[in-house]
Amino acid sequence: MRNDVRLLREAAALSQGELAALLGVSRQTVNAIETGRYNPTLPLAIRLCRYFGHTIEEVFHVDDEER
């Protein structure tokens, strides 16, 4: 699953560590989400999307959508 977390974070001028602190997770977890190695649970995904003022569909993209 692809996502726009890195784009949104950089647009907000936040470091991975700062976003991690805001979300209550580790910096490595933010990095893993951005690189697609880890798909967050629904509560964390909602928290993340709400912080940036977007819906989940706007931030996370199922790979099928590319077809």
Partner 1 sequence: MSTTRSGDVARSNAERWATPVFGIAMGIVFFAVFGLRGDWAGAVIALAIMLAYSAVLVVLGRRSETVGLLGGDSADERGKLIQARANTATAYVLITVIIAAFLVEISRGQDGAPWSWLGAVAGLTYIAATAWYARRS
Binding site for partner 1 (CB under 8 A): 24-26, 28-29, 32, 38, 40-41, 44
CB of 32 to partner 1, least distance (A): 6
Q: State the pairing for strand pair 60-61/2-3.
A: antiparallel
Say how many Å lie between the first and final Cα of the chain, rounded: 13
Q: In terms of C-beta distances under 8 Å and separation of at least 24 residues, what long-range contacts does 21-27 make, across chains too?
A: 22/51, 23/47, 23/48, 23/51
CB of 39 to partner 1, least distance (A): 10
Name the residue nearer to partner 1 (CB basis): 8 or 29.
29
CB of 27 to partner 1, least distance (A): 9
